[in-house]
Amino acid sequence: MTLRPILIHPDPRLKKHCDPVVTVDDDIRRLADDMLATMYDAPGVGLAAPQVGVLKRLFVMDCVKDKAAAPEPMVMLNPEVTWTSPETNVYEEGCLSIPDQYAEVTRPKEVRMRWLGLDGQIHEEQFDGLWATCAQHENDHLDGKLFIDYLGPLKRQMITRKMEKLKRERARAAKEQSIL
């Protein structure tokens, strides 16, 4: 497994609609393994392929936060929402592509998803709580939508400016490191 660099907003690849995964092959399995390793290392509870620069409809998630509990990694290829509850839930969301920025987002409280698994089979499951929020957040990434797109324009612009500054600071630090 290889840790992959996570794209930071703003990056045009984060706003693209992703292509379906056509074949479950070794390349897709390797990508899924790399994404899980990257997500756990970050640390995060979800990661979508466009966040590592791959414009495919694939995301990984594991919302088990209790360090004593066994992890429950999930890999979803070509996921689709088949049902959402009328009840909503407000959750403070963050994103590995928008580090250290959080905001409350309202989403359906429960969601049913259908996806292709790495085993080549179709799976369907209903999620609630953090799992539902995470599945919807990651699925949004596959359509080029970020959690900040649910915010008002001023808050969204403020966060975008912070991310632009972060990217400039990281580029400057990398340049200084290469000179040394």
DSSP state for residue 56 in the 8-state scheme:
B
Structure tokens at 83: 């049902």
Which pairing describes strands 88-95 and 110-116: parallel, antiparallel, or unpaired?
Answer: unpaired
176 tagged catalytic: no
Q: Which residues are CB-contacts of 138 (< 8 A; sequence separation ≥ 6)?
A: 46, 47, 48, 59, 60, 61, 76, 79
Both tokens assigned to 113? 């998803």
Q: Which of 87, 102, 83, 85 is nearest to 146 (CA)?
A: 102
**Annotated catalytic residue within 138, 164, 169, 176:** 138
Other C-beta atoms closer than 10 Å to the C-beta of 104 total 11
Amino acid identity at 147: F
Point out the residues that are catalytic: 138
